[in-house]
Amino acid sequence: MKQYLDLLNKVLTEGEIRTDRTGTGTIGLFGDANMAFDLSEGFPLITTKKLHFPSIAHELIFFLSGKTNIQYLKDNKVTIWDEFADENGEIGRMYGTQWREWRERPIKVNLVAEEGKIPNVELSFNYIDQIAELIKGLKENPFSRRHILSAWNVGELHLMKLPPCHAFVQFYVSNDRKLSCKLTQRSGDSFLGIPYNIASYALLTHLLAQQTDLEVGKLYWSGGDTHIYLNHIEQVKEQLSREPKTLPTITIEKQPSIDDYKFEHFKLNNYNAWPHIKGEVSV
């Protein structure tokens, strides 16, 4: 994971300081940020600070469920979405909902009238299950250039508590039947968010490969606005002082479908990391 440390150092030494939506302030780069991880050489969970793998795994399971309420995460003591959810635990039509229920234009409009009241409009939709379509495509037409997973639904950004940061994903099957993933991230919190995103899409690639009888290839990460929050500068310097350790591996118990995976089906092996470094989330 030295390339991740190289990215931190690049942002810190070459980035420009800017104001941001949260009011915290950032130092960041635009466009000049790329990494590649060979998933056959280990699971890319950074070792220069300990990450909470259960949070990463449970979040992916939550996304794959397509739900909009974070109760599943709270039930499993995962707090990474708490700051963004409303008082009822709703985060809106974000990642998982777009993955599993991308809405097409309305196919039916009903006017529900009550005496003395303005009629309510009820819309009916067709839904696109992008994950199901992706698996079908990888099986039936592996060399297609259209293995795409998108969370950036322009028509529904106003229904999301936070517009998607990891917004566009493309998958690729090589001649030796290895599945690679390219994640394009429009906005990347280099200290807190990006390590989680790397591990999450590595895990998703493992699951998709398993469901389509492929081997894992590489995970490519590409950043748009790649930044470090100004209240994370000292933490980043501490992390840069640490030498990376050997990556862990992951064992996954194959399930009948992508919808059947639970946390107990994942086993992280030999994760030896430096102690955790705490950083505040900017909302």
Of 116-125, 158-167, 219-228, give the lowest mean pLDDT range.
Answer: 116-125
Q: For position 278, what pLDDT does the model report? A: 93
Which among 151, 160, 165, 207 is annotated as catalytic? 165
Task: Provide the pLDDT confidence category of residue 30 given band limits of 50, 70 and 90.
Answer: very high
Q: For position 105, what pLDDT does the model report? A: 73
Q: For position 124, what pLDDT does the model report? A: 74
Percentage, residues of the chain above pLDDT 70? 94
Of 179, 156, 180, 177, which Cα lies nearest the Cα of 167? 156
Is-catalytic flag, 165? yes
C-alpha–C-alpha distance, residues 20 and 253, integer Å: 42
Q: For position 107, what pLDDT does the model report? A: 63
Task: Provide the pLDDT confidence category of residue 160 given band limits of 50, 70 and 90.
Answer: very high
Indicate if the pLDDT at residue 109 is higher than 70.
no
Indicate if the pLDDT at residue 117 is higher than 90.
no
Task: Provide the pLDDT confidence category of residue 262 given band limits of 50, 70 and 90.
Answer: very high
CATH, range 2-102+129-269: 3.30.572.10
Q: For position 121, what pLDDT does the model report? A: 67
Average pLDDT, the chain: 94
Indicate if the pLDDT at residue 113 is higher than 80.
no
C-alpha–C-alpha distance, residues 15 and 28, integer Å: 4
Indicate if the pLDDT at residue 108 is higher than 90.
no
Residues 177-194 have a mean pLDDT of 97
Counting Cβ atoms within 10 Å, is residue 51 exposed (0-12), middle (13-18) or buried (19+)? middle
Q: For position 114, what pLDDT does the model report? A: 66
Q: What is the Cα gyration radius of the chain?
A: 20
C-alpha–C-alpha distance, residues 232 and 229, integer Å: 5
Residues 181-193 have a mean pLDDT of 97
pLDDT tens-digit readout, 5-25: 999 999 999 999 999 999 999
Q: What is the 3-state secondary structure (H, E, C) of the chain?
A: CHHHHHHHHHHHHHCEEECCCCCCCEEEEECCCEEEEEHHHCCCCCCCCCCCHHHHHHHHHHHHHCCCECHHHHHCCCCCCCCCCCCCCECECCHHHHHHCEEEEEEEEEEECCCCCCCEEEEEEEEECHHHHHHHHHHHCCCCCCCEEECCCHHHHHHECCCCCEEEEEEEECCCCEEEEEEEEEEEECCCHHHHHHHHHHHHHHHHHHHCCCEEEEEEEEEEEEEEEHHHHHHHHHHHCCCCCCCCEEEECCCCCHHHCCHHHEEEECCCCCCCCCCCCCC
Task: Provide the pLDDT confidence category of residue 282 given band limits of 50, 70 and 90.
Answer: confident
Of 11, 13, 8, 6, which Cα lies nearest the Cα of 28? 11
The alpha carbon of 136 is separated from its chain's Cα centroid by a whole number of angstroms, namely 21
Tokens linked to 237: 């310097």
**CB contact at 8 A, 186 and 151:** no
Q: For position 119, what pLDDT does the model report? A: 66
Residue ranges covered by each domain of the chain: 2-102+129-269
In this structure, are strands 102-112 and 34-38 parallel, antiparallel, or unpaired? unpaired
Residues 31-52 have a mean pLDDT of 97
Q: CA dihedral in degrees (111, 112, 117, 121; nearest 10)? A: -50
pLDDT tens-digit readout, 60-87: 999 999 999 999 999 999 999 999 999 9
Region class of 162: left (phi > 0), else alpha (psi between -120 and 50), else beta:
beta
Comparison of pLDDT for 33 and 282, the residue scoring more: 33
